């Protein structure tokens, strides 16, 4: 029983495990819906902010380009106005110079006329002729100046016309550029809108996939860990489907790492049918360097080999938007042998699939076990035979050494006896010689040259004769 304090009235009340689980499930479901709603609102707000920012940015850039073009047009207009003023000023200066020259010539002519009034008629006639020539020349010069002024005006007018045409052409180009910019703006806005709509669609799809995954997962799994879910699902079927199976936590970390669960199943004779190393990963198990399923493959394969399991299975909630892993059961044996990645709802079907596949090869496993047992018996017999041969060889070597030593001792004894024999033979020869010498001794020989002894022996013989 759990004791819970009401946050409103501060009263404590007790609740059993089932009621506590229901309350916890309701709280977590409401939290999930609340977080999902908040994420949807944040995504919509991000979309609106991005669209507004893009629109403001494009509008600012267009306004800036239009302002630059307006400034350039005003500058061109100012240049045209300045050119027109300069043309008019130059024309006025040229006309003023001609008029001044003309007035000066007229004054000079008038002055000459007054000076020549008193001259003679010939001089007057000559003067008039000269004046006429001068006047004609001046008139020609004036005409030339007028023609020059007219030509200069035509050139200026042509230059003005060309400048106006160039300004109009540039204006038209600016207008076309403005139209192009407006079109590009529209295209950019459309592209931006399409891109954000695509992103929103992707987010909607992702949210839909999350909802679909939540719907496909059992409702009990929401609010409990992935390991608890898998263990609970297995224990539901342990008594009926996995009566002789072993499914427990892997607590042996002597090799530096360990898996989560080990599954082993045996037949009635105790022959192993299949063995599986399980690793469970959800989003809370990710780290800064491990965020994908394949980040855990190598360590899982290492644990499988260390614990002597035939298969390795990663039960994973990672990469929830992956179309590959969302298919259910993914064979990754191209990376590591006999390894699979499954979603939690395929945990029990994966065990059943692997066990049923292994049942087909059980007969071959039993035959293989028998052959192994026979090989073990043969190996044991060969080992015993080899041990007997080794022991016999060692005993033979020891006996051979002792026999050789005994022979050496016998040879030494024989040599000693031979020396004794030789000594005895030598003593016998000496005794025989001594005997021969003794046999050859007579009284006569002993008393020869010894009158005393000869007399004694003579007395002894006389005594023996008298007794007889």
Q: Give 81-120 pLDDT, tens digit per residue.
A: 776 777 667 666 766 765 676 677 667 767 766 766 665 5
270 within domain boundaries: yes
Q: Which of 300-314, 373-387, 394-408 has the lowest mean pLDDT?
A: 373-387
Domain encompassing residue 324: 229-366
Residue 322, φ and ψ in degrees, nearest 5: -80, 120
318 within domain boundaries: yes
- pLDDT score, position 222: 41
Query: Residues 51-82: pLDDT tens digits?
Result: 778 777 777 777 787 777 777 778 777 777 77
- pLDDT score, position 263: 95
243 within domain boundaries: yes
| HEC-encoded secondary structure of the chain | CEEEECCCCCCEEEECHHHHHHHHHHHHHHHHHHHHHHHHHHHHHHHHHHHHHHHHHHHHHHHHHHHHHHHHHHHHHHHHHHHHHHHHHHHHHHHHHHHHHHHHHHHHHHHHHHHCCCCCHHHHHHHHHHHHHHHHHHHHHHHHHHHHHHHHHHHHHHHHHHHHHHHHHHHHHHHHHHHHHHHHHHHHHHHHHHHHHHHHHHHHHHHHHHHHHHHHCCCCCCCCCHHHHHHHHHHHHHHHHCCCCEEEECCCCCCCCCCCEEEEEECCCCCEEEEEEEEEECHHHCCCCCCCHHHHHHHHHHHHHHCCCCEEEEEECCCCCCCCHHHCEEECCCCCCCEEEECHHHHHHHHHHHHHHHHHCHHHHHHHHHHHHHHHHHHHHHHHHHHHHHHHHHHHHHHHHHHHHHHHHHHHHHHHHHHHHHHHHHHHHHHHHHHHHHHCCCHHHHHCCCHHHHHHHHHHHHHHHHHC
CA 451 to CA 354: how far, in whole Å?
137
How would you classify residue 250: left for phi > 0, otherwise alpha for psi between -120 and 50, otherwise beta? beta
Quote the pTM value. 0.36
346 within domain boundaries: yes
Residue 313: pLDDT over 90:
yes
CA 272 to CA 240: how far, in whole Å?
19
How would you classify residue 310: left for phi > 0, otherwise alpha for psi between -120 and 50, otherwise beta? alpha
Residue 368: pLDDT over 50:
yes
- Helix axes 362-439 and 347-360, enclosed angle (nearest 10): 50
Instruction: Report the share of the chain in percent with pLDDT over 90.
Output: 13
Query: What's the token pair of residue 189?
Result: 């806005």
- pLDDT score, position 384: 76
13 within domain boundaries: no
Q: 451 falls in which pLDDT band (50, 70, 90)?
A: confident
Computed over every residue of the chain, the mean pLDDT equals: 76
- pLDDT score, position 221: 47
168 within domain boundaries: no
Query: What's the token pair of residue 315?
Result: 């039960």
- pLDDT score, position 330: 93
Inter-residue contact 254 to 277 (CB < 8 Å): no
Distance of CA 120 to the CA centre of its chain: 124
Query: Residues 10-28: pLDDT tens digits?
Result: 666 666 666 666 666 666 6
343 within domain boundaries: yes
- pLDDT score, position 47: 72
- Helix axes 347-360 and 226-241, enclosed angle (nearest 10): 40
Nearest to 40 by CA among 207, 195, 283: 207
Which segment, 2-16, 64-78, 264-278, 441-455, is predicted with the most confidence on average? 264-278
Residue 264: pLDDT over 90:
yes
Query: What's the token pair of residue 300?
Result: 């899982």
User: Is pLDDT larger for residue 258 or for residue 206?
Assistant: 258
Nearest to 233 by CA among 304, 315, 293, 330: 315
Query: Residues 210-250: pLDDT tens digits?
Result: 666 655 554 444 435 788 889 999 999 988 888 889 999 98
What's the domain count of the chain? 1
- pLDDT score, position 29: 64
Which segment, 38-47, 221-230, 278-287, 349-358, is predicted with the most confidence on average? 349-358
In angstroms and rounded to an integer, the radius of gyration of the C-alpha atoms of the chain is: 68
268 within domain boundaries: yes
Q: 189 falls in which pLDDT band (50, 70, 90)?
A: confident
């Amino acid at each position: 029983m759990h004791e819970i304090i009401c946050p409103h009235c501060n009263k404590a009340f007790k609740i059993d495990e089932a009621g506590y689980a229901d309350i916890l499930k309701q709280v977590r479901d409401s939290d999930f819906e609340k977080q999902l709603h908040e994420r949807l609102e944040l995504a919509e707000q991000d979309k609106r902010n991005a669209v507004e920012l893009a629109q403001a940015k494009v509008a600012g850039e267009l306004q800036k380009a239009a302002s630059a073009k307006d400034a350039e047009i005003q500058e061109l207009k100012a240049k045209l106005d300045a050119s027109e003023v300069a043309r008019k000023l130059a024309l006025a200066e040229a006309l003023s110079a001609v008029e001044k020259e003309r007035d000066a010539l007229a004054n000079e002519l008038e002055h000459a006329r007054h000076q020549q009034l008193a001259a003679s008629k010939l001089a007057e006639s000559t003067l008039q002729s000269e004046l006429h020539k001068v006047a004609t020349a001046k008139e020609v010069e004036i005409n030339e100046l007028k023609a020059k002024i007219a030509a200069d005006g035509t050139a200026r007018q042509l230059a003005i016309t060309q400048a106006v045409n160039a300004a109009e052409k540039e204006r038209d180009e600016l207008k076309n550029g403005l139209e192009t910019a407006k079109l590009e703006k529209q295209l950019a806005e459309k592209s931006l809108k399409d891109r954000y709509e695509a992103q929103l669609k992707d987010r909607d799809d992702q949210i839909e996939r999350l909802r679909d995954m939540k719907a496909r997962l059992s409702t009990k799994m929401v609010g409990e860990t992935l390991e608890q879910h898998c263990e609970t699902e297995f224990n539901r079927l342990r008594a009926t489907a996995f009566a002789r199976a072993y499914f427990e936590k892997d607590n042996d970390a002597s090799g530096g790492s360990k898996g989560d669960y080990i599954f082993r199943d045996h037949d009635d004779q105790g022959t192993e049918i299949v063995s599986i190393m399980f690793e469970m990963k959800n989003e809370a198990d990710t780290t800064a360097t491990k965020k994908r399923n394949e980040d855990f493959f190598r360590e899982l394969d290492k644990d499988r080999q260390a614990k002597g399991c035939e298969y390795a299975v990663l039960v994973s909630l990672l990469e929830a938007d992956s179309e590959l892993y969302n298919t259910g059961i993914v064979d990754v044996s191209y990376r590591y042998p006999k390894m699979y990645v499954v979603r939690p709802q395929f945990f029990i079907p994966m065990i059943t699939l692997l066990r049923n596949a292994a049942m087909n090869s059980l007969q071959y496993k039993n035959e293989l076990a028998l052959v192994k047992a026979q090989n073990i018996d043969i190996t044991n017999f060969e080992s015993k035979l080899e041990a007997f041969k080794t022991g016999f060889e060692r005993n033979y070597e020891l006996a051979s050494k002792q026999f050789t030593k005994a022979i050496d001792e016998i040879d030494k004894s024989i040599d000693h006896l031979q020396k004794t024999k030789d000594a005895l033979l030598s003593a016998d020869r000496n005794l025989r010689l001594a005997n021969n010498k003794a046999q050859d001794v007579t009284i006569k020989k002993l008393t020869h040259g010894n009158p005393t002894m000869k007399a004694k022996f003579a007395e002894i013989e006389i005594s023996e004769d008298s007794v007889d």
